[in-house]
């Protein structure tokens, strides 16, 4: 079997296609969560904490004083961006919770499917014949 044929069989298998779809949807979901955290969740938290913009929080490791992260980066100063880190931790927590809920729902659906009673199996012809003989003998 040629290498191209093997690759074609691998690429069209259901699991590979499902995985690709999952990765694409996951990337889009990650962008949505990042926007949610940076644009919706963090501004009210920053407002409650006295008007703090988390994305602009940093520790300057270099010489000089900078009032904003952009100014420090423009000057090439080494900084620790702990505000950005906080945003990413919150984003990760939201994604992890959403995946947890999704897995929980899928597991519940699988369990319900497994608990469904199996459809009654039609008896084989041998069993039907034996039942007929039994009924004739009873008469």
Is the pLDDT assigned to residue 14 strictly greater than 80?
Answer: no
CA distance 90 to 122: 56
**pLDDT-above-70 percentage for the chain:** 96
Q: What is the pLDDT of residues 127-136, one digit of tens each?
A: 888 999 999 9
Q: Tell me, what's the pLDDT at 133?
A: 92
| Average confidence (pLDDT) over 60-71 | 88
Q: Tell me, what's the pLDDT at 80?
A: 94
CA distance 3 to 6: 5
pLDDT tier at 1, thresholds 50, 70, 90: low
Is the pLDDT assigned to residue 120 strictly greater than 80?
Answer: no
CA distance 64 to 75: 10
Considering the chain, what is the average pLDDT of its residues? Answer: 84
CA distance 58 to 61: 9
CA distance 124 to 132: 13
Residue linked to tokens 């459809």: 119
What are the chain's domains? 3-138 (1.10.1200.120)
Per the model's pLDDT, the better-predicted residue between 16 and 80 turns out to be 80
């Amino acid at each position: 079997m040629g290498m191209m044929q093997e690759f074609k069989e691998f690429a069209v298998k259901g699991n590979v296609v499902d995985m690709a779809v999952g990765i694409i949807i996951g990337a889009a979901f990650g962008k949505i969560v990042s926007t949610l955290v940076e644009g919706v969740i963090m501004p009210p938290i920053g407002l409650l904490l006295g008007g703090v913009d988390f994305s602009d929080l940093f520790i300057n490791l270099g010489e000089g004083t900078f009032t904003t992260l952009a100014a420090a980066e423009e000057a090439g100063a080494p900084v620790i961006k702990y505000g950005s880190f906080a945003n990413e931790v919150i984003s990760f927590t939201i994604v992890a919770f959403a995946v947890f809920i999704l897995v929980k729902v899928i597991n519940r659906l699988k369990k319900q499917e497994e608990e469904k009673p199996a459809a009654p199996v039609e008896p084989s012809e041998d069993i039907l014949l034996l039942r007929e003989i039994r009924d004739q003998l009873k008469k």
